[in-house]
Amino acid sequence: MAEHILARKLVLNLPRAKVFDFFADAVNLERITPPELNFHIATAQPIDIRQGALIDYRLKLRGLPLIWKTEISVWNPPFEFVDRALKSPYKQWIHRHTFTEIEENKTLIEDEVRYRLPMEPLGDLAHFFVRRELDYIFDFRQKTVAEILR
């Protein structure tokens, strides 16, 4: 039974509050997700993001339609928030977003996803393929965030 960790860092030449506000708007998640995932927020807009907020998404993974439901389990603007999957293809999905002002108008964004695959330990045999897919999604996300927020 393995917990896997995906970590990413990105530095933007913007104030922390502006960067945090971008991520606090759930609609932007659609903008920074690869289009082939057909990712859409199913929860009625606007969403009041706060601790305990629930957000439903629809997407396609390898052509299969999925429903994903997350809960904002930590909400500490403009420093961090955590979304935790209540329903997803993963046994565990906990995504911590942190925002650190490293100097005036310069923000370090850190993503840490702690995830477990279903059907452990057999599911872990597919980890190589899952990780490759997650790397693609998070690489796309970083590139797109940097383009939008430049």
Residue 61 clears pLDDT 90, i.e. is over it = no
Give the residue-averaged pLDDT of 93-101. Answer: 98
Residue 1 clears pLDDT 70, i.e. is over it = no
pLDDT band at 144 (very low <50, low <70, confident <90, very high): very high
Give the residue-averaged pLDDT of 134-139. Answer: 97
Give the residue-averaged pLDDT of 21-49. Answer: 94
pLDDT value of residue 4 = 96
The domain spanning residue 10 has which CATH number?
3.30.530.20
Give the list of residues 6+ apart from residue 138 with CB closer than 8 angstroms, or none: 6, 8, 111, 113
Residue 138 clears pLDDT 80, i.e. is over it = yes
What is the torsional sign of CA 107, 79, 57, 65?
positive
pLDDT value of residue 53 = 97
Q: How many domains does the chain have?
A: 1
pLDDT band at 122 (very low <50, low <70, confident <90, very high): confident
pLDDT value of residue 109 = 98
Model pTM?
A: 0.93
Residue 124 clears pLDDT 90, i.e. is over it = no
Q: And the tokens for 9? A: 């860092």
Cα–Cα distance, 46 to 134 (Å, whole number): 28
SS (H, E, C) the chain: CCCEEEEEEEEECCCHHHHHHHHHCCHHHHHCCCHHHCCEECCCCCCCCCCCCEEEEEEEECCEEEEEEEEEEEEECCCEEEEEEEECCCCEEEEEEEEEEEECCEEEEEEEEEEECCCCCHHHHHHHHHHHHHHHHHHHHHHHHHHHCC
Residue 33 clears pLDDT 80, i.e. is over it = yes
- Residue range of the domain that includes 70: 4-148
Residue 25 clears pLDDT 80, i.e. is over it = yes
